[in-house]
Amino acid sequence: MNEVFKSVEILDESFLRTLNIVKVERNIFTINDGCPSDTIDLKCLNDFKFSGCNNEVNVEDDEEYHEYLKELKKLRQSKKKLRKELQYNVKYVVAKIYYPVYRPAIFKFDCSSVKLTYGKLLTLYTYAYQLMYKLEDDDVGELADHIPGMLNRCRSNGRFEIWGHDIYDLVYNTLSTLEYTNDTVICEFGVSS
């Protein structure tokens, strides 16, 4: 049994309209914070692992060194934010995934037995992305083909109808929204390709 969440449900988008939002947080991260394809450990749900930042910098080049220091500062701010516990005590985490799909993927995790951090939210969201791609491929019975002459994934005909991108093409960007109800946080982390 998973030690972090008791269960995960796939929900219809209409579920979201039943929720009463009491607080919203936007753009909580300052840099790109990994990829939906990153390896995660759900047994302990460690905080999200960073890809890191550029460690090879020419200290003789003032402009390059200044950019490196700015990048490093943003990385430290994001790492600090990822370790921070949520200010609301929530039991459920809902992951909303709208890209790259024709039918939204909505996953609800029962996390009533753990204290959640922002990093754990991002890890659960990553797990939701991976689960979405797995379920899609299981529905279709095989991995999706690619558009001839392109690197883009063909539109699949599973429950989410994933199009255009394999999971390995995607990276998180700095766009994010967390919406809170009395016992739930609804997450949407932006991805780019």
Q: How confident is the model at residue 48 (pLDDT cuts 50, 70, 90)?
A: very low
Residue carrying the six token digits 């700095």: 174
Q: How confident is the model at residue 151 (pLDDT cuts 50, 70, 90)?
A: confident
Q: In whole angstroms, what is the distance from residue 186 CA to residue 178 CA?
A: 6
Q: Are strands 171-180 and 184-192 parallel, antiparallel or unpaired?
A: antiparallel
pTM for this entry: 0.81
Residue carrying the six token digits 């939204």: 104
User: Is residue 39 classed as helix, strand or coil in its secondary structure?
Assistant: coil
Among the listed ranges 35-44, 90-99, 140-149, 170-179, which one has the minimum average pLDDT value?
35-44
Cβ atoms within 10 Å, residue 10? 14
User: Is residue 61 classed as helix, strand or coil in its secondary structure?
Assistant: coil
Residues 6+ apart with CB under 8 A from 134: none
Q: In whole angstroms, what is the distance from residue 85 CA to residue 120 CA?
A: 9
Question: Is-contact 91 110, C-beta < 8 A?
Answer: yes
Kindly state the tokens that stand for 177: 């929204």
Domain boundaries, the chain: 7-49+61-192
Mean pLDDT of the residues in the chain: 81
End-to-end CA distance of the chain: 34
Please say if the pLDDT value at position 19 is more than 70.
Answer: yes
The pLDDT tens digits for 91-131 are 999 999 999 999 999 999 999 888 888 888 988 999 999 99
Q: In whole angstroms, what is the distance from residue 108 CA to residue 168 CA?
A: 23
Among the listed ranges 10-24, 25-39, 65-79, which one has the minimum average pLDDT value?
65-79
Please say if the pLDDT value at position 55 is more than 50.
Answer: no
Q: In whole angstroms, what is the distance from residue 134 CA to residue 37 CA?
A: 12
- The CA-based angle 152-26-115, given to 5 degrees, is 100
DSSP E strands in 98-169: the ranges are 105-110
Q: In whole angstroms, what is the distance from residue 30 CA to residue 157 CA?
A: 36
Question: Is-contact 37 133, C-beta < 8 A?
Answer: no
Question: Is-contact 162 144, C-beta < 8 A?
Answer: yes
